[in-house]
Structure 1
Amino acid sequence: MPTNMMKDKNGFKLGTFSSNCSSGMTVTKSPSRWVNSWENNLKLGQMLDDAGIDFMLPIARWIGYGGETDFHGSVLETVTWATALLASTKNITVFATVHTAANNPVVVAKQIATMDQVGNGRAGLNIVAGWNKPEYEALGLTLPDDHETRYGYAQEWFDVVEKLWTSTEYFDWEGKYFNLKHVAGDPKPVNGRPPILNAAGSATGRTFATDNADYLFTPAIDLNRSVDEIKELKAQAAEKGRDVGVLTFSHVICRETEEEATALRDRLMGDLADWEAVDNLVNLQFAHAQSFPHDLLAEIKNLFAMGHGGFPLVGTPRQVADGILKLHETGFAGTTLSFVDYVEEFPYFRDNVLPLLAEAGIR
């Protein structure tokens, strides 16, 4: 039976991010931007699986960011997407991304357990406590202004999910946010709790992540800052007797020559960018999210155009591999990868960058 690759903390983890969303992570008007069809996602998933990539991580979105392309206006729902991919692959871990406020924990516990059954123990859960106010409004929900309420709700939500995954009997639940009568979780996940991922920037969010997650997801903007940040997060988790890996996300433009790669990067940060959508995305991050350091947001607007603010891996295979090795040296447990067109560009990365990482001993 396959083991879940994200339960093994050895080696530097590589995954993809946002292939279920239109344009992926690139806020671009380019005609070659990512088309998030099921056909493309299936092709990508099987390609990643064959190459030994560890995981696929989706973004859950309900409305787009506007602009000429309505960036992320089309999104494949993540539980359905993940289940179908798990049924079509052999080794890769596939996460579902779930908003606590929009999804009942009894339903989610069963969905994730079903996913895990389909994938023979290869499911993962990415928990989102909420930040995108317009999406809450679109769903008829109210986004609490304070992090304490959001994460208090998320904690009880996850406590319910965990009990459903572990309890062998029916139970009642009387809490602050949930009152449940005679509930049980059957089937269970295949090999105990699936890996849990959570993106967190605020102190409250990071307390939640180090209490509950196996991996905390955070941007890598300033690697000198990241070194201390990762040490603090690892220490915070260790005080609770927990081992939490810190993941980040990267955007890849890998070409035979540095000139080719930087020329495309400059166009993605220039005339190819959907700047109205970029502005909407950055403004929402300023208004409601604490995932990105606010003092750096204004400086990295161009990185949002290229790859949603991800760490830039731009250049030749050697330069891209060196960038990944820097993330490893900084202390990250792994990174996600995104491309302008995942299916077109991943094979070159697979054939030319992965061998360099294996040679360096991190894969």
Structure 2
Amino acid sequence: MLIPGRFKLGTFSSNCSGGMSITKVPERWSASWEDNLRLARMCDAAGLDFMLPVARWVGFPGDEIEFMHSVLETTTWAAAILAATRVIAVISTVHTAVNNPVVVAKQIATLDAIGNGRPGLNIVAGWFEPEYKALGLQLPKDHDTRYGYAQEWFDIIRKLWTEEDRLDWPGKHFNLEQVYTDPKPKRGTVPIINAAGSAQGRQFALNNADFLFTPAIDLARSRTEIADIKAQAVAKGRPIDVITFSHVVCRPTEAEARDYHAYQISQSDWGATDYAVAAQFATALSFPHDLLIQIRTSFAAGHGGFPLVGSPEQVVDGIEQLIDAGFGGTGLSFVNHADEFPCFAQAVLPILERRGLRSIAR
């Protein structure tokens, strides 16, 4: 569960083939249902806080592979994971342009019933233009339009979760008549996540989200940004936590970890990497545009995730750096989630507990 005041650890992108690593190594993540189920049960038993998927309809073509070619749909994936676990929070990632808010309100409430209050909703306002074209849609060029649509979309969901009576909604983007949803989430809502880099996206997150999801490329920059975000949240009277994502290569020794990390990067599909970077920079502001050269290599390794590479102690040192920067949690990716997570659970989690880092909130 997403316990307040605790540094949160979860998995990220286990529903996508390759996970977050644009690599050709044969042991890369398959994202099969069997592997996802195995991973979910391990994470639940180890006490991880969440599993966060990526919603994707087309992949990133490369020279030899297509990164994220195979992807399990996020809401049905979440339902199955919730039914197979006991404690861990499971998030559904939902694109506003593709999913009707009335349907989503009922889907998330159903997840809430299945998981006894454990689902979350990750709201995506849209950024990947090839995906829009594949679905016969047009991606708005400006962020004002994207987030204006997303705000009305979420206002409808929030209203459906709190209103008992049928309602009419004569809005700009939706015209609904005598609509309601039942059941509703047990607590009237679920944890809301939003990844935001633009000014409009940050305001959307501050107004609606419990967790703002953002990369940790430059920790000095992150520290300043997080302090500003939290100050704005205090001014609005609604607290928000900031979480990020990390790529983990943990081995018994630093040399083993760095050797594997170098091997993984040497096997990168640079065509798919460049395609992914170009797509991000064409229509999204999630990553700082002035750090492109640094980002290219980190995209190949873990799609821009903060590198946690080294021995168990060094991985914990890296997590402590995230905590010191002000992050309240991180999603974790591995080249192969299920094969590598046991080392993280057995070697890294006990060190975090001994250092008292899982209970720190800053």
TM-score category, normalised to shorter length: over 0.9
2:26 aligns to what SS in structure 1?
coil
Please tell me the residue identity of whatever aligns with 1:163: K
Aligned-partner Cα distance in 2 for 1:251–1:310: 5
Is residue 287 of structure 1 aligned with residue 282 of structure 2? yes
Spell out the pairing of 1:70-81 with structure 2 (5 A cutoff): 70-81=66-77
Give the Cα–Cα distance (whole angstroms) in 1 for the partners of residues 298 and 313 of structure 2. 21
1:242 positional shift: 0.7
Q: Distance in 1 between matches of 2:4 and 2:230?
A: 13
Q: Which residue of 1 aligns with 2:176?
A: 180
Is 261-270 or 18-27 further displaced after alignment? 261-270
Structure 1 residue 298: Cα displacement: 2.4
Match in the other structure for 1:324: 319
CA distance in 1, matches of 2:132, 2:293: 25
Amino acid at match of 2:354: E
Structure 2 equivalent of residue 273 of structure 1: 268
Q: What corresponds to 1:312 in structure 2?
A: 307
Amino acid at match of 2:245: F
1:226 to 222, 226, 229: 222
Partners in 1 of 2:322 and 2:179 — Cα distance? Answer: 44
1:53 counterpart (36, 42, 48): 48
Question: Size of the alignment, in residue pairs?
Answer: 357
Instruction: Find the counterpart in structure 2 of residue 34 from structure 1.
Output: 29
TM-score normalized by the length of structure 2: 0.98
Q: Which residue of 1 aligns with 2:347?
A: 352
1:127 aligns with one of 120, 123, 128: 123
| 5+ long unaligned stretches in structure 2 | none
After superposition, what is the alpha-carbon deviation per residue over 1:187-242, rounded to whole angstroms, capped at 9, x for unaligned? 00122210000000000100000000000000001111111000001011111101
Question: 1:265, 1:303 → 2: CA distance?
Answer: 11
C-alpha separation in 2, matches of 1:295 and 1:266: 25
* 1:164-201 Cα shifts (integer Å, max 9, x gaps): 11100000001111100000010001222100000000
- The C-alpha deviation readout for 1:136-162, integer Å capped at 9, x for no partner, is 000000100000000000000000000
1:112 to 95, 108, 131: 108
TM-align CA RMSD? 0.7
Fraction of identical pairs, as percent? 62
Map residues 13-28 of structure 1 onto 2, 5 A cutoff: 13-28=8-23
Counterpart pick for 1:189 among 185, 189, 193: 185
Q: Report the TM-score when normalising by structure 1.
A: 0.97
Distance in 2 (CA, whole Å) between partners of 1:117 and 1:188 is 9
Q: Distance in 2 between matches of 1:277 and 1:291?
A: 19
Amino acid at match of 2:233: A
In the alignment, the residues of structure 2 paired with residue 192 and residue 183 of structure 1 have an alpha-carbon distance, to the nearest angstrom, of 17
Distance 1:242 1:297 in 2: 33
Which stretch shows the higher mean deviation, 98-107 or 186-195?
186-195
Q: Among residues 153, 156, 163, which one is paired with 1:167 in the alignment?
A: 163
Q: 2:58 aligns with which of 56, 63, 81?
A: 63
Deviation (angstroms), 1:362: 2.0
Q: Within 2, Cα distance between the matches of 1:32 and 1:73?
A: 16
Q: Does 1:149 align with 2:145?
A: yes
CA distance in 2, matches of 1:266, 1:9: 37
Does the residue aligned with 2:60 lie in a helix, a strand or coil?
Answer: coil
Segments of 5+ residues of structure 1 without an aligned counterpart are none
